[in-house]
Amino acid sequence: MTQHRINTGNHPPIKQYPRRLPLAKKEEAERLVKEMVDNGIIEESSGPWASPIVLLRRKMDDTLDALNGSQWFSTLDLKGGYWQVEIQPEDKEKTAFTTGQGLWQFKVMPFGLCNAPATFERLMETVLRGLTSEACLVYLDDIIIVGRTFQEHLNNIRKVFQRLQKANLKLSPKKCRFFRKEVSYLGHIISADGVKTDPEKTKAVVDWPRPETVHDLRSFLGLCTYYRRFVRNFSAIARPLHKLTEARSNFNWTEECEKSFNSLKQALITSPVLTYPRTDKEFILDTDASNEGIGAVLSQKIGNEECVIAYFSKSLGKSERNYCVTRKELLAIVKSIEHFHHYLYGRKFFSGLIMHPLDGF
């Protein structure tokens, strides 16, 4: 249905020699090469192109707002993901790589190509056209099927399966989950009540040892930032750690850094369930400003309860910290509206100012 093309123009072939891998990674690379040969993913190559092998972990991110109103959930995982997309024959040699035991080239689209996600997204849009948002939500090779009732959910599963079968796309049965009231999807726990962090994912944050280098600290902050929409005043809590990543001298871990480090861990394991935005309800945007930063809470009143949709916070720059109080408050409103633009654009909403300083600023 879809073939991936690698357009290199008139650029001459690039050939690089293999990098020396640690023994553990070398064994893993050899295992993966054998597995890909056995499954028809790669083949031997004799072309002029070659790149050293790179072992990567997968990344995930997506917005889950389209799940509002759903009561039933099923998750599907496409087997091999990108490997179900063929490479155009004339471009296969451009994917060649070497592990020191020969030259190989991909018969199908490998992970890591800069435009591979766009090709795969185009494939999924073509296959599931007319079903996304209403029957399912797709992020690359991860599909979540929804339904307001059991029967609607069953019908949606049938529709998605028919499309996948027609496109000859295969699933990984062990990674699929069916007819659940609560599922794990893209590092979140999804239910009819809303979205919350997945304890299995945030456990990595809780178990993270105290960083000893800037690189370690940036890795920790990167993991925390993925869930920042769940943490009120995230920027305020993380500010001492962010300042430490900018240090040009020694890595000086202070009591303030230790407090920030532990507070972030605690905030993630006690984070609230965020509700799905509803188009029939007015948005409420509460903003706040202080000497060091700005923040906001986006919510909607559902019944007698004001339910949080997401949090936003931002540390102020050097020049912004010199603003007068009124200007900082106006900046908080402007930046919050910009951040929540995709929710607020074209809609009436109430904007209020929280009349107390943000904790931590």
Q: What is the mean pLDDT of residues 159-175?
A: 93
The answer as to whether 204 is a domain residue is: yes
The pLDDT of residue 4 is above 70: no
Return d(Cα 94, Cα 106) in angstroms, integer. Answer: 9
Question: Is residue 79 a contact partner of residue 35, using CB atoms and an 8 Å limit?
Answer: no
Across 58-62, 173-177, 179-183, 241-245, least confident range: 58-62
Return d(Cα 286, Cα 296) in angstroms, integer. Answer: 5
Do 290 and 316 fall into the same domain?
yes
Q: Which of 283, 125, 51, 320 is nearest to 42 (CA)?
A: 51
Question: Is residue 300 a contact partner of residue 343, using CB atoms and an 8 Å limit?
Answer: no
Do 262 and 291 fall into the same domain?
no
Range of the structural domain that residue 323 is part of: 283-353
Q: What is the pLDDT of residue 189?
A: 92
CATH code for the domain in which residue 312 is found: 3.10.20.370
The answer as to whether 43 is a domain residue is: no
Q: What is the pLDDT of residue 253?
A: 93
- In tens, the pLDDT along 101-129 reads 788 888 888 887 877 887 888 888 889 98
Q: What is the pLDDT of residue 279?
A: 82
Could you give the number of structural domains in the chain?
Answer: 2
The answer as to whether 147 is a domain residue is: no
The answer as to whether 84 is a domain residue is: no
Phi-psi region of 256 (alpha: psi -120 to 50; beta: other; left: phi over 0): alpha
Q: Is 178 exposed, middle or buried (0-12, 13-18, 19+ CB in 10 A)?
A: middle
More confident residue, 136 or 6: 136
Q: How high does pLDDT run on average in the chain?
A: 84
Q: What is the mean pLDDT of residues 179-199?
A: 92
CATH code for the domain in which residue 230 is found: 3.30.70.270
Q: What is the pLDDT of residue 72?
A: 96
Q: What is the mean pLDDT of residues 193-198?
A: 91
Q: What is the pLDDT of residue 1?
A: 60
Return d(Cα 287, Cα 331) in angstroms, integer. Answer: 10
Q: What is the mean pLDDT of residues 280-297?
A: 91
The answer as to whether 332 is a domain residue is: yes
Q: Is 75 exposed, middle or buried (0-12, 13-18, 19+ CB in 10 A)?
A: buried
Q: Which residue among 231, 249, 270 closes a domain?
A: 270
Do 251 and 292 fall into the same domain?
no
Do 212 and 243 fall into the same domain?
yes
- In tens, the pLDDT along 229-239 reads 899 989 999 99
Angstrom distances, CA of residue 56 to CA of 28, 59, 142, 175:
12, 9, 18, 20
The answer as to whether 330 is a domain residue is: yes
Q: What is the mean pLDDT of residues 250-278?
A: 91
The pLDDT of residue 360 is above 50: no
Q: Which residue among 224, 244, 270 closes a domain?
A: 270
More confident residue, 242 or 133: 242
Q: What is the pLDDT of residue 116?
A: 82
Give kind and range of the element (H or E) at residue 133. Answer: none
Percent of the chain residues past pLDDT 70, beyond the cut: 89
The answer as to whether 107 is a domain residue is: no
Q: Which residue among 211, 235, 270 closes a domain?
A: 270
Q: Which of 61, 64, 36, 3 is nearest to 309 (CA)?
A: 64
Return d(Cα 221, Cα 277) in angstroms, integer. Answer: 27
Q: What is the mean pLDDT of residues 231-248?
A: 89
pTM for the whole structure: 0.68
The answer as to whether 298 is a domain residue is: yes
